[in-house]
Each structure stands twice: as C-alpha cells, then as structure tokens.
Amino acid sequence: MTSIAVLPGDGIGPEVTDAALDVLDKLDLPLEVRFGDIGWKFWQEEGDPVPERTWKLLEETDTCLLGAITSKPAREADAELSPALRGTGHTFVSPVVQLRQRLGLYANVRPVTDLAEGRFDFTVIRENTEGLYAGLDFHGLDESLWAVVGDHPNASVSGRRNTSATLRLQTRHGIDRILRFGFEHARAQGRRRLTLVDKPNVLRQSGNFLRERLESHAEEYPEIETEILNVDAVALWMVRRPERFQVLVAENMFGDILSDLGAGVMGGLGLAGSGNIGDRGSYFEPVHGSAPGMAGDSRANPTGTVLALAQLLRHVDMPVAAGDMADAVTRAVRSRRAVTYDLGGTATTEQAGAELVEQLRPF
C-alpha cells in the first residue's frame, strides 16, 4: 500500500493539513498516512528543524505532504536556538532547502491556474538544487575568490573583507535533468511550448551553455516549440498576458520569484500548491509559508494544500482521485460559498475545508 508521510509543520501548517486530510479521507483511498515532526520547534529544541527520525520516516514512506514551516533569516534563527545548544555547531538551514537538497528533489513543479475563470493554465518548473541556492554564499573573500572578483571597481574600492560573493552554479547535470523533466512534463500534459527563463542578453557564458543544452534536448521533442525569454520579460508577461505561457523552466532563484508571482496572479498564495520531485523521493506543499501571526486563528485558506495533495495523488499514480480533488477545488472556488479572508471573505479554514469535501461528489 502506498504510504504518505504527513509533516504538518508549524504556524498555519497543521490547520491547512487537517483540512486537506479531511478531503483525502472522503476519497477513501488505499493509502497509509504516517505523521512526522518538522519545523521551528525542533530547531529551537533539538538544533535541527528536520530531526533524524523524520529523515527515517521519509525513507520508509513513498512520498510526503508538508504543511508549512517557519523560515527566518539565519541570524534570527541562531538567536532562537535553545541556550543549551548554542555554540555547539548548529547552523540553521531552511528545512525545505534541506529536503530538496538531501533527497535530490531537483524539480519544483508549481502550476499556475486561473481557478475562477479558466483564462490561463501554465506550470513553473523550477530547478531546485543549484543556482544561487547551492550554498556558495561568502562574505569576506578568500584568496581564490578574490582573484576572481578583485578587479571589479566596486570590489577594489571595498577590499576583500567588505565584499560578498554568491555563486550561481549551473551544471550540465542539473540543467539536463530539469530540461528533460520539463519536456516530459510538457509531453505528458499535451503542451506545445516550453519557455526557458534566463537572462542571455547579460549572462553570456552561462546563457550560451543553457541554449546549447536546450537545443540538444529539443531535438528529441519535435512536437514542442521552445523559446528562451529574459526573466524580466517573463515577470511582466505573467501579469499582462499569463495565457501566453504553457511550461516555464527556470533556474532556482528565478523560479522562486516567478512561482510566487504566479501565486499572486492566481489570486494569492492561498490558492497555490506545488510538488518537489526527484528520482528518489518527493514532497508536496502549498506555496504559502507558515504565517505565524495567523496560527490558530482558523483563517488560512486550505486550497493550496488540497491542490498540493491532488498533485501528490497524480504522482503516486492515482490520476482519477487527483482529478476529482482538483475538480472539487475548482467548483469550490467558483461556488464562492466558503470564501476565506485572502479572497475577501470570512469563512474559517474548517468551513472552506467542508465546502471542498462537499464538492467532492462523483459525477
């Protein structure tokens, strides 16, 4: 039987997870659900937001649903570590970044759909393991980095102790697998166009490499038209003409920005779900964060989590259940019978969840 690790996390994570699991229950699928620990509390008390027992759970299960986890700047995180653990070498690393890196979940798949009116429907596929997230962020440069940047006028005025450098890493391994994933996704969904997001008019060397890899893959997918667009133009068109996009492939940071923007275009973070997928595992989560200020208020919109769960079901080869769940979301949004605060209503998380369950009737 397929097993799912459920990690509610903190903030509004537990609330939206509960609501989503109610919808799952209604479907009565042959799935085993096992709960696990993740989040801020475990950073504070155990020195790691992802305890070892959680990694074990992830190993033993087929996939994972994540609620939300508080994410803070490194410096604030350090200050909240329990006194007993300070100075013992614990460094806060965002738990979602940990999951993506350690489990090799290289593809972050974020559908951007106009649920209310069906005017647009595209997917941002974000590379999840390299780019500016490679962990190569330095301040006060050593000799080898200074040799690379020291001639830049700003650096030479500032000196190496007053210079930061963050490496945006792009590798053939990373590029090839995300492109292949993007093309396969486009083919599976019957899409005809793949847009690679880059900045080739400024980044000449890496841009040439990306283009070369795109051209090489594109040969294997003759039915799919490709284009390379500048990231700034994509941001603009996402707002002005979102219907022009089908499948977007972007490096990590561009993808981070564009997928949050996509959530904005959808009508808010509350509506967006996402999947993080690799060859050895996967996890699914709403795009929104943990909104600690709202925790316990039962105001959060559970829709993004339910859509993440629908993506999960498709991933574990339950396309019919996935489709039913996604259709229920669309009907619930259109019925406007239980509208949460983010969309201008006053419904509670439970009421919005109940409406989703209600809409889940077989047709």
List binders of ligand IPM among 46-85 (CB under 6 A).
Answer: 71
Q: Does 166 bind ligand IPM (CB under 6 A)?
A: no
Strand 225-230 to strand 193-198: parallel, antiparallel, or no bridges (unpaired)?
A: parallel
DSSP-derived 3-state class of residue 29: coil
Taking the least distance from each CB to its own copies, the nearer of 36 and 267 is 267
Q: Does 96 bind ligand IPM (CB under 6 A)?
A: yes
Interface with ligand IPM (CB under 6 A), residue from 97, 149, 269, 343: 97
d(CA 58, CA 64): 7
- Cβ atoms of residues 325 and 360 within 8 Å: yes
Taking the least distance from each CB to ligand IPM, the nearer of 112 and 354 is 112
Q: Which of 309, 340, 345 is nearest to 17 (CA)?
A: 309
- Cβ atoms of residues 94 and 128 within 8 Å: no
> Which single residue is written with the structure tokens 């962990």?
135
> Between residue 242 and residue 261, which ones bind ligand IPM under the rule CB under 6 A?
256
Give the per-residue contact string, 220-239, with ligand IPM (x = CB under 6 A; - = no): ------------x-------
> Between residue 195 and residue 234, which ones bind its own copies under the rule CB under 8 A?
199-211, 228, 231-233
Q: Does 235 bind its own copies (CB under 8 A)?
A: yes
> Between residue 245 and residue 284, which ones bind its own copies under the rule CB under 8 A?
253-254, 256-261, 263-265, 268-269
- The first and second tokens of residue 239, run together, are 């707002």
> Between residue 196 and residue 215, which ones bind ligand IPM under the rule CB under 6 A?
201-202
Taking the least distance from each CB to its own copies, the nearer of 258 and 318 is 258
> Which single residue is written with the structure tokens 């697998």?
177
> Which single residue is written with the structure tokens 């769960």?
309
CB hemisphere CA count around 333 (13 angstroms): 25
Mark 351-362 as b/e (b = at least 16 C-beta within 10 Å).
bbbbbbbbbbee
C-beta of 255: minimal distance to ligand IPM in Å? Answer: 8
- The first and second tokens of residue 343, run together, are 């969309």
- The first and second tokens of residue 250, run together, are 């972007």
Taking the least distance from each CB to its own copies, the nearer of 271 and 322 is 271
- Which range, of 17-25, 26-34, 91-99, 318-326, touches ligand IPM by CB under 6 A? 91-99
- Cβ atoms of residues 156 and 287 within 8 Å: no
> Between residue 305 and residue 324, which ones bind ligand IPM under the rule CB under 6 A?
none
Give the per-residue contact string, 38-77, with its own copies (x = CB under 8 A; - = no): ---------------------------------xxxxx--
Taking the least distance from each CB to ligand IPM, the nearer of 130 and 324 is 130
- The first and second tokens of residue 295, run together, are 């925790």
Q: Rounded to 10 degrees, what is the CA torsion of 203, 205, 209, 212? A: 90
Give the per-residue contact string, 159-198, with its own copies (x = CB under 8 A; - = no): x--xxxxxxxxxxxxx------------------------
- The first and second tokens of residue 357, run together, are 């369950």
H or E element at residue 41: helix 40-46
Binding residues vs ligand IPM (CB under 6 A): 71, 94, 96-97, 201-202, 232, 256
